[in-house]
């Protein structure tokens, strides 16, 4: 996703001199082409993410559109006060980009496990929160947040699910979920690169006679209420999957939305981190298996859910 983000940003910066990329002292190999082509639109703020966000806000208030970039929790949780008080409160065009959602940097431990960011960032007023599931969505989301006024958060995963197939002429829209696969027995609602596990889980379910819809919720805020309500009305069974805590993230906002609108699923399951810190270290694939976010476990939990009497 990272490479697709910078590819689209380079394309956009070619025609828009207001775009400025500020990095927290990383991504140099990835940014070599960008730095060479747009030296006056690139700043290395050093290992000082709070200062980076304050700097970005100042530049944005002077007319720039500023992308801040760092790993996992560093551009978000570390400088939450600056995002809230400086960027969001002043409706500044600061686009916070975190590379490494979920367990992307799994071997580096909990400091690098971005597993609470969606819940925390979506709670801020006046912010757009985007979590693409694949490469196409990443490139489209990069352009979309550029054209969205105010502060935005773009969460990128090292992995990426297959966000195709796309309908002919399909347009990416902030706040509009995408139905990637239609099914009758249940609807799996997913955000982020964990989509790759969901695709595999849906194929396993199909081999057991279970027809599952897959919905990519690439925008957490603003949220696509109507599509989620319709999915619940159509199947009665809703499953959310996220490489993130189930507290306050995708599962939380789906549950809130259904209850707020009086649409009650017959079966409901949130799949994500359920308790405590993700204190184990290892590759993203390994941690997904350890925490029950792999395709086999997802499919088994859904099958068990469907077997429950209602």
Extract the runs of DSSP E, i.e. beta strands, from 126-232: 127-130, 151-156, 178-181, 186-190, 212-216, 219-221
Tokens of 263: 């649409």
Q: What is the pLDDT of residue 86?
A: 98
Cα 135 to chain centroid distance, Å, stands at 12
Q: What is the pLDDT of residue 134?
A: 94
**Cβ-based neighbours of 13, under 8 Å, separated by 6 or more:** 19, 21, 34, 37, 38, 41
Mean pLDDT by 10 residues, the chain (310 residues): 94 97 86 93 95 98 97 95 98 97 93 96 98 95 98 91 79 96 97 96 97 97 98 97 96 98 97 92 96 97 91
- Quick one: which of 156, 164, 148, 166 has its CA closest to 131? 156
Query: Please, what are the domains in the chain?
Result: 2-156 (3.40.50.970), 178-307 (3.40.50.920)
Residue 291 CA: distances (Å) to CA of 124, 192, 274, 304: 28, 16, 9, 18
Q: What is the pLDDT of residue 308?
A: 86
**Cβ-based neighbours of 16, under 8 Å, separated by 6 or more:** 65, 146
Q: What is the pLDDT of residue 168?
A: 81
Q: What is the pLDDT of residue 115?
A: 96
- Quick one: which of 126, 117, 223, 101 has its CA closest to 173? 223
Local structure of 93: helix, strand or coil: coil
Altogether, the residues listed in the chain come to a count of 310
| Cβ atoms 131, 34 nearer than 8 A | no
Q: What is the pLDDT of residue 300?
A: 98
Tell me the β-bridge partners of 271.
Answer: 241
| Cβ atoms 54, 43 nearer than 8 A | no
Cα Rg, the chain, nearest whole Å: 19
Tell me the β-bridge partners of 69.
Answer: 23, 97
Angular region, 179: left φ>0, alpha ψ -120 to 50, beta rest: beta
Place of tokens 């347009």: 171
| Cβ atoms 128, 219 nearer than 8 A | yes
Name the DSSP class of 88: I
Measure the CA–CA gap between 284 and 176, rounded to whole angstroms. Answer: 28
Q: Give phi and psi for 2, each to the nearest 5.
A: -55, -45
């Amino acid at each position: 996703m990272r490479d697709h983000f910078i590819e689209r940003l380079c394309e956009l910066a070619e025609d828009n001199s207001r775009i400025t990329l500020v990095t927290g002292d990383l991504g140099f190999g990835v940014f070599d082409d960008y730095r060479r082509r747009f030296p006056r639109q690139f700043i290395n703020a050093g290992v000082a993410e709070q200062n980076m966000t304050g700097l970005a806000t100042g530049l944005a208030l002077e007319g720039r559109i500023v992308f801040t970039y760092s790993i996992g929790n560093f551009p978000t949780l570390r400088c939450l006060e600056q995002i809230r008080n400086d960027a969001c409160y002043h409706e500044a065009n600061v686009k916070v980009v975190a590379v490494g959602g979920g367990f992307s940097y799994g071997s580096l431990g909990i400091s690098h496990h971005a597993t609470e960011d969606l819940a925390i960032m979506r709670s801020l007023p006046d912010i757009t929160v985007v979590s693409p599931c694949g490469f196409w969505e990443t490139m489209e989301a990069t352009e979309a947040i550029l054209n969205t006024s105010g502060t935005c958060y773009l969460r990128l995963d090292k992995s990426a699910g297959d966000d195709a197939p796309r309908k002919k002429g399909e347009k990416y829209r902030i706040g509009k979920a995408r139905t990637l696969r239609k099914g009758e027995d249940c609807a799996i609602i997913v955000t982020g690169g964990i989509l790759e596990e969901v695709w595999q889980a849906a194929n396993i379910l199909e081999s057991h006679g279970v027809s599952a819809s897959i919905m990519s919720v690439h925008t957490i805020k603003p949220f696509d209420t109507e599509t989620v309500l319709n999915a619940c009305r159509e199947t009665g069974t809703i499953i959310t999957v996220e490489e993130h805590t189930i507290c306050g993230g995708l599962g939380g906002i789906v549950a809130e939305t259904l209850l707020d609108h009086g649409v009650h699923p017959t079966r409901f399951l949130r799949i994500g981190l359920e308790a405590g810190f993700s204190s184990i270290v290892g590759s993203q694939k390994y941690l997904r298996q350890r925490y029950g976010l792999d395709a086999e476990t997802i499919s088994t939990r859904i099958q068990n859910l469907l077997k429950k009497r209602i």
